[in-house]
Homo-oligomer: A and B are copies of this chain.
Amino acid sequence: MHTILILGGGKSSTFLIDYLADSCTSKNRNLILADLDVQMASLKLKNRPGTKAVSLNSEDSEQRRKLIEKADVVISMLPAFMHPTVAKDCLELGKHFFSASYESEEMRKMKSEIESKGLFFLNECGLDPGIDHMSAMRIIDRAKAENEEILSFKSFCGGLLAPQSENNPWKYKFTWNPRNVVLAGQGTSRYIEHGDLKFVPYHQLFRRLETVHFDGLGDFDGYPNRDSLSYRQVYGLEKIPTMLRGTLRRAGYCKAWDIFVQLGMTDDSFRMEMPEGSTLREFLNAFLPYDPTLSVEEKLSGIIPDLDFPSFEKLQWLGFFSTRKLPITTGSPAAILQAILEKDWALEVDDKDMIVMQHLFEIKGKEGIRKTTSSLVSFGEDSTYTAMAKTVGLPLAIAVDLFLEGKIKLKGLHLPVVPQLYNPILDELEKYGISFSEKEETRN
């Protein structure tokens, strides 16, 4: 009898919990769900046999290790900074470890020890990273098997609103961690195009856009996401001339968001203290030059020479030109901006979210250069059963299930980039409506 421990029962865990809890009886398993909010955890388990909710402050190492000791496999849905700590516990206590987050440098340092102890540690098995790797590797491995050359691989993903819920000018609401959305893209993004290395500083990022089209949904903005170069090795495409991973927003979002970036309003490195009772207009003015002869609107146009009406309207809708009061007056600019957005970009109960992902390949085969476009669209059911929770949680749940069934024979530290992992996971996801549609076009 196996025991599964899920650490963290927040928004992203809904489908993960359901998938694993539903089969506890039939598969003769126990499931422990540990969260700071034990009541919420208990509600999510719905009294299913074999399941139990426990209260856990995950930073309390004694309490955490006691729980881990009881488990066979541990799934960490905690904030990313906690993963290495949990992984270290698992390593010491001889437990298998699963997460949907990026494999960190600290995790890599444990690699040989994980192997020597015969454990299985799987990271990046959610949506992005996760489904992106698996679906891409299936195409890449197929091409390699045919001795074809992959000339270009661009991959985009976005967590957005279903069209019927796009009822604000941004066509955006928070479907995951608001802080991550506000800070998205900070640092320098890197990719390669036709053999040229490309480096994009944060303040150019939301201008370095590609238009990405989905049939039936229309156009999206895609901007380069972090370090695409490092994925050449992960995907076994060391010599590929073009490789770019990007993030999707609805067309027009990036141009407006770039205004916040240009102003310095997404800066998280210092603490501002605006006078009590300050307005959004005054907050905006703090990032504009002093000029008593010009209005805030005129000064903004001076800083953003290509300010257009669709972008202006997005700021106006948030109240930046009005006397609306700031929800908080101290904190980093990013924290104040986040507090503003959390009011206006909150998902309403019956809002539906949407996940869009698209891989664009150029592959040189016997018949010429083939363009393969592989697209995933997944809709949420409501503001709890979101497409985000589904696409992040199901791959992880499936991986754990397969592992406990003995269908994964791997040991050591892994990403889901090998057929033994991606084939059964993608096949099972298809039963839940998570599947890619492929289009091909060949030039001779």
Chain A residues close to B by CB (< 8 Å): 187-188, 190, 193-194, 196-201, 203-204, 208, 262-264, 267, 269-270, 272, 274, 285-290, 292, 303, 305, 333
Contact = CB atoms under 8 A, between A and B. Distances in A.
Given A198-B288, A198-B290, 11 more contacts: A188-B264, A197-B274, A199-B272, A199-B333, A201-B263, A201-B267, A203-B262, A204-B263, A204-B264, A208-B289, A305-B305
Contacts of A264: 188, 199-201, 203-204
B194 A292 contact: yes
A196 B262 contact: no
Contacts of A196: 285-286, 290
A188 B289 contact: no
A290 B188 contact: no
24 contacts: A187-B270, A188-B264, A194-B290, A194-B292, A196-B285, A196-B286, A197-B274, A198-B288, A198-B289, A199-B264, A199-B267, A199-B287, A200-B287, A201-B203, A201-B262, A201-B263, A201-B264, A201-B267, A203-B264, A204-B262, A204-B263, A204-B264, A208-B289, A305-B305
Given A264-B200, A264-B201, A188 B286 contact: no
A193 to B, nearest CB: 4
A193 B291 CA distance: 9
Contacts of A272: 197, 199
Contacts of A198: 286-290
A270 B186 CA distance: 13
Nearest to A333: B199
A188 B262 contact: no
Contacts of A305: 305
A292 B316 CA distance: 38
Contacts of A193: 290
Contacts of A197: 272, 274, 286
A398 to B, nearest CB: 35
Nearest to A207: B303
Contacts of A289: 198, 208
Nearest to A196: B290
Contacts of A190: 270
Nearest to A289: B208
Nearest to A272: B199
B286 A204 contact: no
Nearest to A305: B305
A245 to B, nearest CB: 15
A303 to B, nearest CB: 7
Contacts of A274: 197
Q: Which of A201, A208, A292 has the most CB of B within 10 A?
A: A201
